[in-house]
Amino acid sequence: MATISSLSGAQSAAQSGLRQLRLQQAKRDAEQAEQIARALQAQAQSAQQHATEAMERARAITSQSDQAQATAGQARQGLAAVSAVVRMQNQLSGVVTQVTERMAPPKPAPATKSSPTPVVNTEGQVTGAVVNTTA
C-alpha cells in the first residue's frame, strides 16, 4: 500500500505543480493584458486629444470662413453701389453734353480765304502780292 500512497503523493505533487504553472501563466497573461489595455488607453487619449485639437482648428477655420463671406458680401454691395454711381455719372455727363451743345451759340460760317490782290508792275505784268516790309 505504500506504493499506492507514494503514487498518490506524486500525483498530488504533479497536480500542484501544474496548478502553480497555470497560475503563473494566468498571472503573466493578466499582466500582459493590463499592459496592452494601458497602451490602448494611452493611444485612445492621444487620439482624443488630436480630435479635440482638430475640432478647435475646424471651428477657427469656420469662423474665418464666415468672416470672409461677410467681407465678400460687403464688397459685392460696395461694387454694386460704385457701379450705380458710375452709371449715373455717365448719364449725367451725357445730359450735360447735350445741354451744352444746345446752349452754345451757333458756330459762324467758316471765313472764305481771300486771295491777295495781284500786283501789276509798270509794264502791266502781274508780279505777285504786295509785302509789307516796314515791320
* CA trace torsion 115, 116, 122, 124 (10° rounding): 10
Q: Cα-flanking dihedrals φ and ψ of residue 11, to 5°?
A: -65, -40
d(CA 108, CA 30): 117
* Distances from the Cα of 108 to the Cα of 11, 104, 105, 111, 133, angstroms: 144, 12, 9, 8, 33
The grid coordinates of residue 50 equal 488630436
Would you state the pLDDT for residue 26?
97
Q: What is the pLDDT of residue 130?
A: 57
**Cell triple for 12:** 498530488
In angstroms and rounded to an integer, the radius of gyration of the C-alpha atoms of the chain is 57
pLDDT 10s digits, 24-58: 999 999 999 999 999 999 999 999 999 999 999 99
pLDDT tens digit sequence for 6-21: 667 667 878 888 899 9
Going by pLDDT thresholds of 50, 70 and 90, the confidence category of residue 127 is confident
Question: Could you tell me the pTM of the whole model?
Answer: 0.47
Residue 26's nearest CA partner among 18, 67, 57, 103 is 18
Residues 6+ apart with CB under 8 A from 121: 127
Q: What is the pLDDT of residues 55-106, one digit of tens each?
A: 999 999 999 999 999 999 999 999 999 999 999 999 999 999 998 888 877 7
